Chains A and B, each alone.
Chain A
Amino acid sequence: MTDVVISPFSNSDIRDWPLNHYADLVGLLLASDPEIRVSVIGTSTQKLRAHEIVRAHPAPRVANDCGRLSWPEVVDLIKASACVISNNSGVGHLSGHLGVPTVCVFGGSHQRHEWRPLGASVMLVSRVIGCSPCQLDHVSGSPYGKACLREIAPETVSDAAVRVMARAASKDERNVWMEGDAAAVERADEPN
């Protein structure tokens, strides 16, 4: 089994990718690999929102684990997972810190150069949009209905997740990226 952890909630709704996109993403992930199982994590108060993500998907492969795990259990789950998909939030930072393959769906409210999760195992998905960074905390303040996240397609995130897992599988060292990731740069394994 390939365990994918989705952490769809941050402390600020302006940073959260829409729930329907997460729901579609889960469908794409399940279709991409019959071995994939998904765990949606969050607090007990986020469980109702997580229902919207898992509802359309088979229970044996997609679990709503919001409120079911203690923090140490969350850490263990992340360590053991094949991929973590998150917003700009604490779980994304933890996952990158632990070197776990991570896809971070990063909204336009904050500057990704300042707040992105660090780590060579992190793949950052964000939108080029003229109104970013707006520095807003709440969706209610967004004059464009959080277009910076709304316009990120589930297919893009799913592709990134598949890619980040494939790289981790093809290289034992998770922080080494294969050639062709970016044309102009190469990964240095040894100190400069």
Chain B
Amino acid sequence: MTHAPVQLGEAARRRAAWIAAMRLGRLAFYSGPLPWLEVGAEEASAPDEAYGVVCAPFRLEEAADYRTTLRTWFRLVRVGGHLIIAVSHAFLHDRQLALPSRWNPRQRRLYTPGSLMEEVEEALAPNSYRVRQLSDLDDGYDYDLESDHLPIGRSDVVLVLEKIAPVRWQLALTPYERAAQPIPDRPDYQFEPPRTRVEVEMAMQCRQVLILKLDHLGDFIMGVAALERVRALFQGAEITLVVGSWNVELAQGLGLADHIIAFDVFPRNSSEEVVDVPGKGALFQATVSAEYDIAIDLRTDPDTRPLLRLVKAGLRAGLGSRSRFPFLDIFLPVDSSHSEAEGAREFLFDHHAFAAQGSAKPTAHRLVSSAATVERDCAIVWGPYRTLRAGRYIFEPHLDVEPGAGGLLRLDIALDAERVLERLVDGASPVRLPFTVEAEGASFEFRIWTVDGAPALDFSFFGGRLIRQGAAAVLHQSESSLLLMELVAIRLQRTGVLAEIDAP
């Protein structure tokens, strides 16, 4: 028979032959006296777990829904019984890598042992079965027969599953899952009632725009680039610009705003008069009383940001973090406080921040070390093991040495226990030890040692002063306000604002 599909009757004959062979051949072990069923038409109505053997030769390859089919067959098997599945082997029976089958027009899939197992693992719950046999059956197979002939001999994959009793434990999803212990359903605290929110991204169309630029002449000049960006971004909008009275003429000359409002939240000369931004709030609210789609504060210093809260606006934008200004919808979280990382810093340590060898005597304000009693094989003073940020530092130990005593001390600085600097001192002049921290988080240590071959010195140690150089790593005022405007543009035109659907 060449190039001709087998007749459907041939399929039935093949199944019958397979069942007969099963009872005699290598699978006979599984076909004992237990009640058994060859799957066909009646399994849908058959009772659960009624059969010791359920046998399914060449059925799975014709099933459209292999998952449901496998589950149905497996349902019929009782615990300890077997589901025996045979399918045509793609490499032996079909001898092809893609459908349609040359021999069976009803065949929907090609099988190998691997693909058969994959379907079983997909369809049946883990640990509901054990695989007792998975093998190619090629008894009597004629390997010399050309591939366009119907195969002679067995050309199947056979799988035998034993149904097992349910196990009491569950598979862990990941090795990181915590051990079985009571886990609270959710936190016992809440800031608002728990709910599931569904949100979408909304771009905003702003027709009424309010800009605050309330600072002085130089600040205003440095903000011109951002104002130009405002005009370009909101081409069709009506722009209202609020400035100090001293900048009104300049603002009018720029021609970037449709309306200009004068409001002096600062004194014209801040160095001579008291600044009271909160005290101007009510007057500001009365002066800037219209409604806007968006209000933007272009001042870099954060002191005017609270005025935004007083504006009637759909969106509020400014520099600074939302944790500090929760009313900001669009915020560029740059540090404009001129503090922390950017400033020069001085840290004072008293002698309590340091440890000393036993010969050194602590008093209320100092450590006293005597040349006569000092141990020479270890440091005399060490500490304070403070974690430092990257940057340039100077450490100035407060050391009182009896001048002209003729001895020496060795001072050193270590970072993460590696010496980076040492200096011999005889007490003649104050000591300043400059060093650089390259890696953020290095542990800083200062130590005082004796010097080999030289007499020690009597000294008092009071602690020291650590100075950090200011980091000149700030944005220019004009850059900060321009970056804010770019963020506003991105938010309005690209990333949008999240809006909740069906919000409570």
Chain A residues in contact with chain B, CB under 8 A?
Answer: 13, 19, 48-49, 51, 54-55, 57-60, 64, 112-113, 116, 118-120, 122-131, 138-140, 143-145, 147, 151-153, 156, 160, 163, 177, 181-188, 191-192
Contact = CB atoms under 8 A, between A and B. Distances in A.
Given A64-B122, A129-B190, A124 B198 contact: yes
Contacts of B205: 186, 188, 192
B122 A54 contact: yes
A189 B235 CA distance: 15
Interface string B293-318: 00000000000000000000010000
Contact of B199 (A57, A118, A126, A183): A126
Given A130-B187, A144-B186, A147-B186, A139 B200 contact: no
Interface in B117-142: 121-125
Contacts of B494: 118
- Is chain B's binding surface mostly helix, strand, loop or mixed? loop
B189 to A, nearest CB: 5
B174 interface: yes
B79 interface: no
A59 B65 contact: yes
Contacts of B197: 125-128
Contacts of A160: 198
A192 B499 contact: no
Given A128-B197, A156-B196, A58 B184 contact: no
B228 to A, nearest CB: 15
29 contacts: A13-B174, A55-B125, A59-B65, A59-B68, A60-B64, A112-B498, A116-B498, A118-B495, A123-B199, A123-B200, A124-B198, A125-B197, A125-B199, A128-B197, A130-B191, A130-B194, A131-B187, A140-B176, A147-B186, A156-B198, A160-B198, A181-B202, A182-B503, A186-B205, A188-B204, A188-B205, A191-B235, A192-B233, A192-B492
Contacts of A19: 173
A125 B196 contact: yes
A179 B495 CA distance: 19
B496 interface: yes
A127 B196 contact: yes
B185 interface: yes
B203 interface: yes
Contacts of A128: 192-197
A65 to B, nearest CB: 11
B198 A125 contact: yes
A174 B124 CA distance: 39
A144 B122 contact: no
B224 interface: no
Interface in B158-180: 173-174, 176-178
Given A51-B121, A147-B185, A187 B198 contact: no
Contacts of A153: 196
B372 interface: no
A6 to B, nearest CB: 15
B183 interface: yes
B67 interface: yes
B501 interface: yes
A185 B178 contact: no
A47 to B, nearest CB: 8
A51 B122 CA distance: 5
Contact of A127 (B194, B200, B237, B493): B194
Nearest to A61: B65
B68 A58 contact: yes
Nearest to A128: B195
Contacts of A147: 185-187
B346 interface: no
Contacts of A127: 194-197
Contact of A124 (B191, B199, B234, B237): B199
Nearest to A164: B200
A127 B234 CA distance: 35
A184 to B, nearest CB: 7
Contact of B500 (A13, A49, A57, A182): A182
Contacts of B195: 127-128
B137 to A, nearest CB: 25
Contact of B178 (A113, A116, A140): A140
Given A140-B178, A144-B183, A184-B499, A177 B237 contact: no
A189 B474 CA distance: 37
B66 interface: yes
Contacts of A60: 64-65
Given A60-B64, A123-B198, A143 B184 contact: yes
A182 B499 contact: yes
Nearest to B315: A185
Contacts of B178: 139-140, 145
B442 interface: no
A54 B64 CA distance: 15
B201 interface: yes
B206 interface: yes
Interface string B61-97: 0001111100000000000000000000000000000
A144 B184 contact: yes
A139 B500 CA distance: 27
Contacts of A51: 121-122
Contacts of B68: 58-59
Contacts of A116: 498
B493 A181 contact: no
Nearest to B488: A192
